[in-house]
Structure 1
């Protein structure tokens, strides 16, 4: 195993997970559909737990999560809120749709990380293959829930 490449890969996913957790938390607080906000909050708790699992995997292979990277991820998530929606002080109904799409993208990215780690887990005893299988299955369930939310909220906003 090329530890330098593995460490870099894990750092990139650590940064992404930091932004993802922040995004889930914000959307859970601000989403215009209360039922969707509740589900996003539940998923956000799962994703935050998986971030801690990632921290454990990083420790197992001898790399510490980057604090600078985590700060940059949070700043990037805040900057990502700035978009041309025609409203300065209020939320656009379209924001609810686009945020759910961003959450799906975040989970797809996280799932991709688990896939890569799983592909090498049988060759590196520091990586727990069963844990990675569970994380992949969990990501698939999260994507299914987000897909349902996305379609439902999108229909409401487009047919309003």
Structure 2
């Protein structure tokens, strides 16, 4: 991977991590099930830790995390709040379900990014393969927990 492409790829994931961190924090505050919200807040802490590791990787490769990319990512998260949920004014129970799906999708994309970065930088001494292995493992664990929360909320919302 040449540096221009590597840096562009990392900036793309920086934007996504900004959107994801904002989404996790918002869902952790707004989810109607307080136990689910607590789990999401714990995941939000981990997501922010992962984002910090991405920042370190970006800097290790000679780039700087883009403020424009971060702002764009957060704006995309804000725009993503406006989705059909069967209610015009009030929050729908489907919102709790859709938001967990979006969180799971975000972490799945994050894991795919770590996997590609791991494969593409095998011979790049600036990137620690063991760090990436741990980030891939951690994302898998986060996905499993989000799947469990998604099924739990889905049974309540749809099965009710």
Q: Establish whether TM, by shorter chain, passes 0.5.
A: yes
TM, length-normalised to structure 2: 0.97
Q: Distance in 1 between matches of 2:130 and 2:92?
A: 42
Superposition pairs of residues 11-160 of structure 1, within 5 angstroms: 11-160=11-160
**Deviation sequence 1:117-154 (CA, Å, 0-9, x none):** 11133210000000000000000100110010000100
Alpha-carbon distance in 2 for matches of 1:152, 1:39: 12
Instruction: Please give the TM-score of this superposition, normalised by the length of structure 1.
Output: 0.97
Deviation at 1:85, TM superposition (A): 2.1
Gap runs ≥5 in structure 2: none
1:36-85 CA-to-partner distances (Å, cap 9, x unmatched) read 11111100100011101000000000111111111111111111111122
SS in 2 for 1:91: coil
Distance 1:127 1:86 in 2: 46
User: Which runs of 5 or more structure 1 residues have no equivalent in the other structure?
Assistant: none
Q: 1:85 aligns to what SS in structure 2?
A: coil
User: What SS does structure 1 have at the residue aligned with 2:84?
Assistant: coil
1:121, 1:28 → 2: CA distance? 34
CA RMSD of the aligned region, Å? 0.9
Q: Distance in 2 between matches of 1:74 and 1:122?
A: 31
